[in-house]
Every structure is written in structure tokens, then in C-alpha cells.
Structure 1
């Protein structure tokens, strides 16, 4: 895994944690609208996506079909005007969360993600194999790794918007 990807994973996670650390329980769990997630739910979704990504990469590595798939320009993921429906497997709990418990879940999922990636001896295989992403289609496995921090950047912007809607003062 390149240093740039590694740096982006760390930087994006640090930015996310900075956005949520000082929130009260009510700010963290408050929903600005009936069809909108709370900040806690957004964060729980990120944990679930990271866990699902480990599974997707593991399944992709087991696939016999080794054809390299077309690389995606998925920076469109950062376009917040384009809405995506979260697959059921990564929909967050509706129960409220404590800020620290979500930070612990985020730290745990990231640790498991890096531990899993470190088990892959030949990282070049990640560019040769692919697995179907629910929103982006067939995606090379190395781009599954990149989508983690891009997805997290997208939702960090969503958290900033929710904070404005809830009138959270920093």
C-alpha cells in the first residue's frame, strides 16, 4: 500500500475524530430531519463500511478470475449533491451512541483494517483482482482501499453540514 494511501487513511480519520470529539451526547445523536442520520449514525456507518471492505477484499482475493478491471474515477464520491443509498449491510443502528464508544469502534475497525492489509504478502495482487462494489460496480481491490478514505471524507463533510443544521458551535 502506498504511503499516500496510508497518509490519506490517517489524515481523514484524524479529521473525522476532530469533528466529533467535543460533541455532547445530544449533538452527537440529534437528527436534523426525519430522513437524515445523526452524526453518531454517520460514524457507525463508517465503521460498518470499513468492516464490509475487509470482507469484500478478502472475497476478491479468493476469486479465480484474475482479469484486471477498469479503474474507476470515484472522486465523484466526494460530490455531496450525488446521493447514494447505503446497502442494508452498512446501515447504522438507530440506537444512540456515546461519542467515546464510536471513537473506540472507529479505532478498532481501522486497526483491524490495517492488520488485515498486512496479511497480504504481495500487494500487487490488489491491482489485478476486483470485487463488485454496491455503488461503484466492479472495482479493483486497491481502489476498495482508496474508497475508504474518500467515503470518509464525504461523510466528514456531511457531519459538518449536520452540525450547521443542529446549530452546533465549535
Structure 2
């Protein structure tokens, strides 16, 4: 995997953890209204998305006959928060409350699994040659599935910051 993607995965995850580490469990699980997720649920969603992305990449690598697909401006799509994206059922978070450390542990575990898996891929160029259907982005090359993990996290870090303001959490 290229160093930029690796650095972005690492930096974005560190930024996410910085945003949540000092929250009380009440702040973490607070919801501005019942139609919005709590910060805890946003983070659980990120864990589920990373796990689902790993499965999609693994599945895509096993597929034969997959041809390279057109690259998309994943950053433009995911970082534009004016366009609301509906989470597929498979990555909807639990409604039960979470503890901050519990979510940090889940985030660490999902990232460790992702990185361990990616490090088993000998020829990384295959990631640009195969693609899998993404529920929000359409047919997506596997290397862009990796990029969308940190871009998706960046999108939700903005949401977390907005939720903190709504919940009046001091910085």
C-alpha cells in the first residue's frame, strides 16, 4: 500500500480518537434528537464500515474476471456533507450505549485486522485492477475502497464536531 494512504489511515484515526477520548460516557452517548446518532453510534458505524470494507476487499481479490473500473472522485463525494448518505443496514450502529474505551478498543481491533490483511497482499497493483460494488459510490476499484475508509472517517469527524457543539461539549 502506498505511504500516503497508510499515513492518511493513521492520521485520520488519531484525529478521531483525539475527538472522543476526553468525552464522558454521557456526552459520548448523548443524542441531540432521536433522529440523529450519538457520537458513540457514529464511531460504532465507523468500525462496522471498516470491517465491511475489509470483507469487500477480500471478496474482490478472490473474484476472477473483474476488470478495472473508472476511478471516482471519492474524496469529493464523501467529504461533501451537504449530500446526506443513508447507511446500509449492515453498517447501522447498535442503539445500546457504548463506553469511550470500548469503542476505542473496537476501532483499534478493526484497524489492526485491516492492516494485517493488507500486509498479506504481495502484489498491491492488483488493488487497482479489481473492483467491487460499493453501496454509496457504485463500482469501486479495491484501492479506492481503502481510501474511502479514511475519507469516510474524515466525514464523520466533522459530524462528531457538530454533535459536540449541539451537545455543548467544551473542546
Q: State whether TM-score is above 0.5.
A: yes
- Any residues of structure 2 matched to 1:91-102 within 5 Å, and which? 91-102=92-103
TM-score (norm 1): 0.99
Q: Distance in 2 between matches of 1:152 and 1:57?
A: 18
Tell me the equivalent position of 1:153: 154
Tell me the equivalent position of 2:52: 52
RMSD, aligned CA: 0.6
- Shift of residue 66, structure 1, vs aligned partner: 2.9
Q: Distance in 1 between matches of 2:51 and 2:66?
A: 24
Q: Distance in 2 between matches of 1:88 and 1:62?
A: 25
- Shift of residue 63, structure 1, vs aligned partner: 1.1
Q: Distance in 2 between matches of 1:66 and 1:131?
A: 8
SS of alignment partner, residue 116 of structure 1: helix
SS of alignment partner, residue 132 of structure 2: strand
In structure 1, runs of 5+ residues without a counterpart are: none
- Any residues of structure 2 matched to 1:3-18 within 5 Å, and which? 3-18=3-18
Q: Deviations over 1:64-116 (max 9, x none)?
A: 12311000101221011110000000000000000000000000000000001
How many aligned residue pairs are there?
Answer: 170
Q: Distance in 2 between matches of 1:4 and 1:25?
A: 34
Tell me the equivalent position of 1:103: 104
TM-score (norm 2): 0.98
Comparing 74-83 and 21-30, the one that deviates more: 74-83
